[in-house]
A and B are shown apart, each in its own frame.
Chain A
Amino acid sequence: MVIAMPSEPGSLQVPLWRALAVFRFASLAYVGILVLRNAAGYAHPIAALPVLLLMLGWTVLAAYAYARPAWRGWPLLLADLLAALGVLLVTPFVVGHAAMTGGGPTLGVAWVGGPVVAWAISGGRRRGTVAALLLAGADLVVRGGFNQSWLNGATLMLLAALAVGHVARLAVTAEERLQRAVELEAATRERERLARGIHDSVLQVLALVQRRGAHLDGEAGELARLAGEQEAALRSLITTRPADDGGNCALDLRTVLARYTAPTVSIAAPATPVWLPDRLAREVGAAVGAALDNVARHAGGQAWVLVEEEPDAVTVSVRDEGPGIPPGRLAEAADQGRLGVAQSIQARLAELGGSARIHSTPGEGTEVELIVPRPPG
């Protein structure tokens, strides 16, 4: 059985890696703008050009390399960190020591945050923090001491490491849960498939016992009859398994009625679920139950239930071939203040906004027809 898998592991982190690539290019553009603005004051303005080209080269390479899951290992992460450290360390040479101790921006500016984010995505908060501290340390060395710019940069890198690390961990957890859910679903389906096969053979055997023993007397005949009852019960259980209503608090009327299946009760219904609001379905079920009880008590023998679905109403009829109700009998019961089964069913349906009709021909049986309007939608 093929089940949609959430592709390969780590797929939920793919958007994070893409965002990192975008961050690198955007921060590199910012570096370019700053260099253009400040180059006039640099100690060695010409030297900024090869540094910028190397940064561009690494940005492209990193974007390409991090897009491949198999390459996102320690060599790449270390190389990434070394590239950022390199940019930091050459800064005093290009910009001049005075500008650095004065609190000016390093050549990398936010670009050196790239490896911090990469470490945080690949290993969570802790790994991201390690990268942030290493870079902050290098920054401190480059600036030759503590100043406000250094504090700003270090804090931002640490916060980025914590935030990204947290999100990356969430993605991993979510993915594990999804994976477990998918496995559970696969297991459930497999179990259902096996159960169908087993149920089918059990039904076969029960039906066989019933069939072979039907004409026997005494205990054997009784066994056959019991097998027949169990066959009907099991069949109703497996043919109408609850369907998903999409959270509408609706019930499939077929499932509600399935419990009345018996050797003496035939239930005919569409192959697709017949949705009714929860309460309505239960009330209809109870009304059908009352009608079937009545059949068992007065008519005996077989009963047939038919469920029909119209666009705006659901009709359920219960028919028997018993002696029927003599004409005037219903009215007579009502006059005497007795509430017969028929009236109680009619009252129940009226309360639901529906109606119940009772046709009966003496000697030919009785048919109760319940009509329930269905709420739109």
Chain B
Amino acid sequence: MSEPTPVRVMVVDDHPMWREGVARDLTEAGHLVVATSGEGRQAVRIAAAVRPDVVVLDLQLPDVSGVEVIRRLVTALPEVRVLMLSASGEQQSVLDAVKAGATGYLLKSASPAEFLDAVGRTAQGEPVFTPGLAGLVLGEYRRLASQPGPAGGREAAPRLTERETEVLRLVAKGMSYKQIAQRLGLSHRTVQNHVQNTLGKLQLHNRVELTRYAIEQGLGD
């Protein structure tokens, strides 16, 4: 499943048994666990020092929200990839985490094999979507499209192309990239790009919104 190329991983989870279990799985699979942490703020500081390729992050942390940690991680280390894990799969926070810059999402109930596969794919820059996440992202695009634009600045809501919608729907229906490529007569790489674009547009829109908000509130530099 996962490729032999070792990935430098940092594990952030407040549950010690999880942290150890995940770290052990990663080490056994030949990856390098460069750091572990049980707190959000500490994790951001450590990540800045050890510069991992992938941060495996639990969304539920004791000090700061997982979404906030992702925002800080992505700001401090634009190259880092975040694979979030969530025990509850609480929908709004999963969506917020993706908008903040996470590129992968797994439920904690995923099997170790699925997890290792996800880490490998995240390291290669491939978005790791569960069907549930694809459903959330589809819903978010529809919500943005149906919302009246902000009063002053006419910031167009991001839209999916027909192809992107088609691909995302198939992901939400549980099809693998390979199956989707077959069904639509596309290459695996193209399917992956479409999925990546759906995330990219959402994240960009989110950044623009945050900046606009900051300027409106007089916090902009």
Residue pairs across A and B with CB atoms within 8 Å: the count is 111
In the complex with contacts A271-B139, A271-B140, A204-B108 CB distance below 8 A: yes
In the complex with contacts A203-B87, A266-B131, A231-B173 CB distance below 8 A: no
Q: Across the interface, do A306 and B139 meet the contact criterion of CB distance under 8 Å?
A: no
Q: Across the interface, do B130 and A266 meet the contact criterion of CB distance under 8 Å?
A: yes
In the complex, A200 has a CB within 8 A of chain B: yes
Give B124-148 as 1s and 0s: 1 = Cβ < 8 Å from A's Cβ atoms. 0000001111111011101100100
In the complex, B162 has a CB within 8 A of chain A: no
How many chain B residues sit at the interface, stated as a range, is: 35 or more
In the complex with contacts A267-B132, A268-B136, A271-B140, A200-B88 CB distance below 8 A: yes
In the complex with contacts A201-B15, A311-B146, A266-B138 CB distance below 8 A: no
| Residues 295-317 of A contacting B (Cβ, < 8 Å) | 302, 304, 306-311, 317
In the complex, A360 has a CB within 8 A of chain B: no
CB proximity of A54 to chain B, nearest CB, Å: 54
In the complex with contacts A228-B109, A309-B142, A235-B174 CB distance below 8 A: no
In the complex, B89 has a CB within 8 A of chain A: yes
Partner of B92, one of A231, A268, A271: A271
Question: Which A residues touch B60, using CB under 8 A?
Answer: 197, 200
| Residues 204-241 of A contacting B (Cβ, < 8 Å) | 204, 206-208, 210-212, 214, 228, 231-232, 235, 238-240
Partner of A268, one of B88, B143, B172: B172
Question: Which A residues touch B21, using CB under 8 A?
Answer: 208, 211-212
Q: Across the interface, do A268 and B135 meet the contact criterion of CB distance under 8 Å?
A: yes
How many chain A residues sit at the interface, stated as a range, is: 35 or more
In the complex, A272 has a CB within 8 A of chain B: yes
In the complex, A270 has a CB within 8 A of chain B: yes
Q: Across the interface, do A272 and B88 meet the contact criterion of CB distance under 8 Å?
A: no
Nearest chain-B residue to A212 (Cβ)?
B21
Nearest chain-A residue to B171 (Cβ)?
A268
Interface residues of B: mostly helix, strand, loop or mixed?
helix
Q: Across the interface, do B173 and A235 meet the contact criterion of CB distance under 8 Å?
A: no
Q: Across the interface, do A272 and B139 meet the contact criterion of CB distance under 8 Å?
A: yes
Give A236-249 as 1s and 0s: 1 = Cβ < 8 Å from B's Cβ atoms. 00111000000000
Question: Which A residues touch B94, using CB under 8 A?
Answer: 271
Question: Which B residues touch A307, using CB under 8 A?
Answer: 135
Q: Across the interface, do A306 and B135 meet the contact criterion of CB distance under 8 Å?
A: yes
In the complex, B43 has a CB within 8 A of chain A: no
Partner of B18, one of A204, A210, A231: A204
In the complex with contacts A207-B108, A211-B111, A266-B174, A239-B89 CB distance below 8 A: yes
In the complex, B28 has a CB within 8 A of chain A: no
Q: Across the interface, do A306 and B172 meet the contact criterion of CB distance under 8 Å?
A: yes
Q: Across the interface, do B15 and A270 meet the contact criterion of CB distance under 8 Å?
A: no
In the complex, A269 has a CB within 8 A of chain B: yes
List chain A positions with a Cβ less than 8 A from chain B.
196-197, 199-201, 203-204, 206-208, 210-212, 214, 228, 231-232, 235, 238-240, 263, 266-272, 302, 304, 306-311, 317, 319, 321, 367
List chain B positions with a Cβ less than 8 A from chain A.
15, 17-18, 21, 60, 87-92, 94-95, 107-109, 111-112, 130-136, 138-140, 142-143, 146, 169, 172-175
A-B contact pairs, 9 of them (CB 8 A): A203-B88, A239-B89, A266-B132, A268-B131, A268-B138, A270-B138, A270-B139, A307-B135, A311-B146
